[in-house]
Structure 1
């Protein structure tokens, strides 16, 4: 995890392994800032969806005492939302470096779509 100190707080860049470890301990709030369509098709299990288009940076869901980690498809949108949050609210926020693409590249489990039925299914790529 890399930290960048800004005027209003700390901006963190988390790796896929940082996030996977925090998720296994249930010690993080993951917010997917992609569109609802992207989220429904595939997403990190346990992630909340707060699309960038509807988030003003001050109204992100949180859980007392747990860090917030934002992610998108590549890391660009989540970094923008994180910086917007920092300029409005301040404090501490993080984003997933490389986004969901990096998560999948690292062969981490996620919720995908069963193309035969359209239902969600857990995808656990073999390593």
Structure 2
């Protein structure tokens, strides 16, 4: 994990392995900032959705029990949203390096769409 101080805030960049390990341990809340369409097609199982277009830092859950880790498709939008959260007064935020593309490239499990039925299915 890389850590950067931005004023009084801490901005962290996590690897997909770190995110998966923390999710399995129940230590993080993963928030997907992609569009609802992207999320419905495929997403990390257990990730919440807060699209970048509708992002409100004050609506983020508290982090007393679990760290927030944002992600998008490539890491670009989640970094931008993380920095917007810091600008809005959040003092600690993280995002996943490489986004969902890196998650899939690392062969991590996710929820995809069965193209034959249109139904969600686990992809491992």
Taking structure 1 as the reference length, the TM-score comes to: 0.93
Shift in Å, 1:90? 2.5
Q: Which consecutive segments of 4 or more residues in structure 1 shift more than 4 A?
A: none
Instruction: Specify the SS of the correspondent of 1:17.
Output: helix
Taking structure 2 as the reference length, the TM-score comes to: 0.95
Whether the aligned pair in 1 keeps the contact of 2:11 and 2:94 (CA below 8 Å) is yes
Aligned-partner Cα distance in 2 for 1:121–1:92: 33
- Counterpart check, 1:53 vs 2:58: no
- Counterpart check, 1:67 vs 2:55: no
1:1-127, aligned counterparts within 5 Å? Answer: 1-62=1-62, 64-124=64-124
Aligned-partner Cα distance in 2 for 1:7–1:43: 32
Gaps in structure 2 of 5+ consecutive residues: none
Aligned-partner Cα distance in 1 for 2:42–2:63: 23
In the comparison of the two structures, how many residue pairs are matched? 124
Whether the aligned pair in 2 keeps the contact of 1:8 and 1:86 (CA below 8 Å) is no
Instruction: Specify the SS of the correspondent of 1:58.
Output: helix
RMSD: 1.1
